[in-house]
Chain A
């Protein structure tokens, strides 16, 4: 029988080496705790490593990621790369981390920082993602900016017509995602401006339902896109994309402010895919399994109002970053620091009990 001695109660295991995982680890390490990061990929960085530049100021994603990684290295935080934790087993007050049939780690506290997944745009069949090469997701467009894939139209096309569709797989009960992904509006604005910077002659349209410019300086960015970049915002939904003239796409939409249907020929259509959970927790009495999400699955459920990092019904299990729901990087960093504080409080409360 394994006793609870077998686990170092003060050790914190972080699942996910994205921005949330790295920042939570950095704050805990700076406060003197021993932390480890378990990351399923061979590299740290999460989604950040696929982005080109960041809203609202256009900071290079690689600069931010480089700075984070440097700090993780400087603190000599142990990294377990290429390890996909698929369930946790409670042992005493602590946890064992499992990948398939093997234990990959043990810790007193586990912090989930497994992030989000991008909505699979193929599920909105009417937009033709995966069918027409000129239909991209917002993530694909970041890869184009990073020169990891080509523009979907030829160099002869100096004045491309480009459309962005907001809310793809968000705010949509038919997709099982009732939530707003919160940052795709400003991402569309950021990307629309970037496209105009590449192709000054381009005409860019954003098809939106509501424009959610909730963050610091997002509204200013939106105005800049209108005034300085000439991006046209059309309040309405696309019904479908189909092959058009030549290599172009033919899209149909409703302009809800005009109250009239509209038609448009495009060289590129960008779908602002929403953020969805990477896994759902199946909670058992002494174990937590990470399962494939199904239709309508929610993000990691946390409890409390001020203490928003501890996972419902599980002592010693916390969640940080976008695994709890859509979040921007500044929000992720603030949240990671708050979660680290909660973890510290929790560890101190255990010690107080032990000494009583």
Chain B
């Protein structure tokens, strides 16, 4: 039987909930690489990133998603990094991006 159409549907809540504490795994990444906090989302890292042209990797976005607790997306997207280090050479805030990406990539459970 087809579902009745009431003219609306439910979607998950998209709002960011800042009142809840950061996830422990997010906190662990920030503690292990405190320079992540210096990121101002300028996008210079993504502007120079070759991997980002063909994949959804954009380091500054992973930082924003990390703060939002989206650890799975962060973990998946970090896999696209080639660790070339171009981003780190140009970052105006001196973020240790490669180490941050290694920590982010480790947010995904290891493949069985």
Interface residues in chain A, defined as those with a beta carbon under 8 Å from any beta carbon in chain B = 126, 167, 171-175, 209-210, 235-240, 252-256, 259, 261
Contacts and interface: CB of A to CB of B under 8 A. Distances in A.
A261 B44 contact: no
A174 B47 contact: no
Contacts of B41: 256
A43 B46 CA distance: 46
Interface in B26-51: 40-44, 46-48
A237 B44 contact: yes
30 contacts: A172-B92, A173-B92, A173-B93, A173-B94, A174-B91, A174-B92, A174-B94, A175-B92, A209-B40, A209-B43, A236-B42, A236-B43, A236-B47, A237-B43, A237-B44, A238-B47, A239-B90, A252-B47, A253-B43, A253-B47, A254-B44, A254-B46, A254-B47, A254-B58, A256-B41, A256-B46, A259-B61, A261-B46, A261-B47, A261-B53
A259 B92 contact: no
Interface of B: 40-44, 46-48, 52-53, 58, 60-61, 89-94
A171 B43 CA distance: 14
Contacts of B61: 259
A238 B43 CA distance: 9
Closest 7 CB pairs of A and B: A239-B47, A256-B43, A254-B47, A254-B43, A172-B92, A237-B44, A254-B46
Contacts of A235: 43
Given A209-B40, A256-B60, A239 B92 contact: no
Contacts of B44: 237, 239, 254
Contacts of A259: 58, 61
Contacts of A256: 41-43, 46, 60
